[in-house]
Amino acid sequence: MRFIHAADIHLGYSQYGERERYNDFARAFLGLVDAAIAAEVDFVLLAGDLFDARDIDPRTLLVAVRGLERLAERAIPVLAIEGNHERGHWHDAFSWLHYLAQMGLLINLSPWFEGQRLVLAPYDRQAAQGAYYDLPGNVRVYGCRYYGASTAAMVGQLAAALQEQPERPPYAIMMLHAGVENVLPGFGGLSHAQLAPLRSSIDYVALGHIHKPFEHNGWLYNPGSLETNSMTEADWPERGHYLVEIDLEQRSHTAQLVPGARREFVRLNHDLTPYGTPTEVERQVGAYIAAEAQRRRCERPVVELTLTGSLGFAPGDLPLEVLRLTIQTHFDALLARINNRAVPPGDPPPPPGINVERHVLQQLIERDNRLRANSEFWTDTVLQFKEMALRHEASERIVAQVRDLLAQYGEELG
């Protein structure tokens, strides 16, 4: 059997408020559909965040429906779980993933509780709910929606419930929308010790949530995001989807990470310390931009230029708009962005390897006893919201993520 494992598609994301970026995310999803059809897969796994937000517009829903219908026409089932971005409001458990399941376009998997007991029930198409789905060929797929801060406890309960199942299927997959520790600096997640109890029951763990691809020990697989959700992700060009072949006789698999087709993001850096005048900056940085554009030859990329070092003149005289237009011209860029980190004359530059902003912010956060134990997480969170605001992202998206945090960590904050 053969399947595709993807995650973090984020349909509906109008990155930087740019409509063409919205279209890029749609193209990435439809490209995944094309790949599934071309590879003649038996099923597709979507491990969370098909949508970028819980509230989507009609166009976004239409893109999802059209892609899923194409797979349905070829009898390729799509099995999915809810990620943190698309979960229903706390007072309304019904999400757009539930809607698509009710329409028969995908299979939305997650267990539920009856009192204190975790229920792992087979998927019921009429009710459009269930914790697992049995595919032809003796492959069983379990799924568990995003549980935030409760994920570690949930995984422990899943492992115990799996041990109580009457029989182990010949090959079993578990979909989780969860991070794993030590993948991204400052980003927490499940430890390998917390995941280990699943090992005796599960042959392939299909992860989503972290946008950086990784795999561990031929068991944990995370494909990363299809499109580029932030400049940081440009450093992981191998992101895409896994194409997996299952050998049922050997109870084994081979997984190939297939990079996705996406708009290129270009990160440029230039130290302004050697230049004494705005004209010199304009000339030297302009030449650097032109040379990089010639070398890279990208098709309408998103370009970010980070300026560092010490200025030899007043910060207000820095020709930022001229540099932005220079990027636009030489790269024919969809978007040209300037990240100015150069310091005014007389100010010492930050020590190498030290992120001063992060250091100061973490010190402030650690003054609050409620936050001290997880100060790295809260520092990352605040910086993430700051970056979202600087990118002029929709206020609804920022508010939705704040609400998610309050729902997950309300007890911790008191």
Taking only the tens place, the pLDDT of each residue in 159-174 is 999 999 888 899 999 9
pLDDT-based confidence at residue 413 (cuts at 50, 70, 90): low
Identify the pLDDT of residue 361. 79
Provide the β-strand partners of residue 310. 343
pLDDT-based confidence at residue 404 (cuts at 50, 70, 90): low
Span of 85-94, 115-124, 179-188, 281-290 with lowest mean pLDDT: 85-94
User: Bigger pLDDT: 348 or 249?
Assistant: 249
Q: How far apart are CA 250 and CA 336, in angstroms?
A: 51
399 has pLDDT over 90:
no
DSSP designation for 200: T
Mean pLDDT of the region 49-73 = 94
Average per-residue pLDDT for the chain: 89
- Taken in order of first residue, the domains within the chain and their CATH numbers are 2-259 (3.60.21.10), 265-340 (no CATH), 356-413 (no CATH)
Model pTM score: 0.84
Q: How far apart are CA 13 and CA 19, in angstroms?
A: 9
pLDDT-based confidence at residue 376 (cuts at 50, 70, 90): low
pLDDT-based confidence at residue 195 (cuts at 50, 70, 90): very high
Apex CA 87: angle with CA 82 and CA 90, to 5°? 140
Identify the pLDDT of residue 350. 63
Helices 320-331 and 278-296 pack at an angle, to 10 degrees, of: 20
On the CB side of 274, CA atoms within 13 Å amount to 7
- DSSP notation for 207-241: EES-SS-EEETTTEEE---SS--SGGGGG-TT-EE
Q: Residue 119: enclosing H or E segment and its boundaries?
A: strand 117-119
259 has pLDDT over 70:
yes
Identify the pLDDT of residue 134. 96
* pLDDT over 70, % of the chain: 89
363 phi/psi in degrees, rounded to 5: -60, -40
246 has pLDDT over 90:
yes
Q: How far apart are CA 76 and CA 106, in angstroms?
A: 10
405 has pLDDT over 90:
no
Identify the pLDDT of residue 346. 74
247 has pLDDT over 90:
yes
